Amino acid sequence: MYIERYEKNPIITPEDVKPLHKDHEVIGAFNAGVAKIGNETILLLRVAERPITSDGIVKAPVINIENNKLELKSFSTDNPKYDFSDPRMIKSIDKMEGFTYLTSLSYIRIARSNDGENFTIDDKAFIYPENEYQIYGVEDARCTQIGDEYYINFTSVSPRGVLVTLVVTKDFKSYESKGNIFAPENKDVLIFPEKINDMYYALHRPSLKSIGNYDIWIASSPDLISWGNHHYLMGISDDSWDNGRIGGGLVPIKTDKGWLEIYHGATKENRYCMGAVLLDLNDPTKIIGKSIKPIMEPDADYEKKGFFGDVVFGCGGVVEGDVLTMYYGVADTSMAVCKMKISDILHQIEIEG
């Protein structure tokens, strides 16, 4: 399948973003939700900032909600009590002590463009941690337009777990919080852009700690806040490009063939690709068909190398006729953009018998 990657990719890198916090560096500007308001394209960037440290010390940024200030906890890499094997976190070896900290703090910052390719980045955060469920940060926004309102859901992270929060805006200048809509452990929520049989629908991805896999589920709601009627939708493969985990990518796209969902899948070795699944227009709990092979794989150098390499992570798009302009995170570091035809994607989908 032909994919037209923008020749000036990546379009936003950490070097393009000035850190909000003193003595911090931006290590990621990626996984942005996407919206179109008038002629302006909005990217809801996940910006990850890491404390600048000296050799032998790793610091964990944590928001103190009581005074709304950022605090730093320091750990020596020589201390055998701590596990630093994953650069994204610090874990205690002692299960009785039992803590996990992140080595960076994420928040949502807006990038704006009049041509969809050249972006300017707001000086301030748009969504910043503000309660006990977000003291480790907020991550990976997705945005669904319904009427003249934009519903933005994102992952909130704290010692209480990983959950999903919803806010709504009309102008991307301020927002109203609707609270937490999916309890831990959950992420990758995608809200459908219209009601189906008088109900709202959303894809979500429970992250099970006991029995089960990282699979995609679907739920419905009368009001976008109270979600129930949960159904298992689709799972990982036995031994293929998505045998590690799967999760929603872009907000579902309505076509005359069905709801087209472009989702991410990863191997057990954490190589992230994009696939496609087609859902019934009148009952999105039913799968019509899906792609067997990835429709997009990490191929360009900027997709293979970065903070967490071999990652293409589609998280938003703009549809104009048959053309999908997809904005996607690369290597957990930067943002890129590509164009593909929806008709080409549909041809990659094998209809289930």
- Distance, in Å, from the CA atom of 190 to the CA atom of 334, rounded to the nearest integer, reads 21
Q: Give the end-to-end CA distance of the chain in Å, rounded to a whole number.
A: 23
SS3 label, residue 258 = coil
Tokens representing 302 are: 């900027």
Residue 328 exposed, middle or buried by CB count within 10 Å (0-12, 13-18, 19+): buried
* H or E, element range at 7: none
Number of Cα atoms under 13 Å in the Cβ half of residue 9: 25
Q: What is the pLDDT of residues 70-86, one digit of tens each?
A: 999 999 998 898 898 88
| Per-residue confidence (pLDDT) for residue 86, from 0 to 100 | 87
Q: What's the alpha-carbon Rg for the chain, to the nearest Å?
A: 20
Nearest partner of 42 among 224, 173, 212, judged by Cα:
173
What is the number of other CB atoms lying within 10 angstroms of the CB of residue 20? 17
| Separation in Å, CA 224 to CA 7, 64, 157, 240 | 39, 30, 21, 34
Tokens representing 130 are: 């503000």
- What is the pTM assigned to this prediction? 0.95
SS3 label, residue 23 = coil
Residues of the chain below pLDDT 70: 95-97, 353
- Distance, in Å, from the CA atom of 234 to the CA atom of 286, rounded to the nearest integer, reads 10
| Per-residue confidence (pLDDT) for residue 97, from 0 to 100 | 65
| Separation in Å, CA 83 to CA 223, 319, 330 | 43, 44, 26
Q: Are 309 and 5 in contact (CB under 8 A)?
A: no
| Per-residue confidence (pLDDT) for residue 351, from 0 to 100 | 85
Q: What is the pLDDT of residues 143-163, one digit of tens each?
A: 999 999 999 999 999 999 999
Nearest partner of 183 among 204, 169, 167, judged by Cα:
204
Nearest partner of 36 among 172, 176, 153, judged by Cα:
172
- Distance, in Å, from the CA atom of 203 to the CA atom of 74, rounded to the nearest integer, reads 38
**Mean residue pLDDT across the chain:** 95
Output the DSSP codes for 216-242.
EEEEEESSSSS-EEEEEEE---SSSTT
Residues 6+ apart with CB under 8 A from 244: 214, 236, 265, 266, 267, 268, 269, 270
Nearest partner of 353 among 257, 259, 289, judged by Cα:
289
Residues 6+ apart with CB under 8 A from 98: 92
Q: Are 176 and 167 in contact (CB under 8 A)?
A: yes
- Distance, in Å, from the CA atom of 286 to the CA atom of 278, rounded to the nearest integer, reads 9
| Per-residue confidence (pLDDT) for residue 353, from 0 to 100 | 56
Q: Are 327 and 316 in contact (CB under 8 A)?
A: yes
Residue 321's φ and ψ, nearest 5 degrees, are: 65, -125
| Per-residue confidence (pLDDT) for residue 121, from 0 to 100 | 97
Residue 5 exposed, middle or buried by CB count within 10 Å (0-12, 13-18, 19+): middle
| Per-residue confidence (pLDDT) for residue 95, from 0 to 100 | 67
